[in-house]
Amino acid sequence: MRLDIAGHHDVNLQDYCDWLKSRVKNESYKHEYQKAADFLLEKAFDLDLVYEDQNPGFLVEQGEIEEGITRRFVKDIPLWVKRCGLHET
């Protein structure tokens, strides 16, 4: 499913990561969220692609990110888009 997120793909991915980090206190979780974002940016992924694929295992296997972090990273994208009002019409 495509979300059609407005704005710059790279900026959105980092903003989303920052939002996820703001929702946890644990510094190791924050580090893992940033690690996931850095890996995705390095591989030229954006939030639409990540959500469309629905494959958090990709981040576990290739990015060596903790599984719970990757599942949350994929799952909460539509929530962030809705809260930020970034859905293109």
| pLDDT tens column, 11-37 | 999 999 999 999 999 999 999 999 999
Helix (H) or strand (E) holding 80: helix 77-84
Model pTM score: 0.91
Helix, strand, coil percent content, the chain, rounded in steps of 5: 65, 0, 30
For 44-62, how does the pLDDT look when each residue is reduced to its tens digit (9 = 90+)?
Answer: 999 999 999 999 999 999 9
Q: Is the dihedral of CA 42, 36, 9, 75 positive or negative?
A: positive
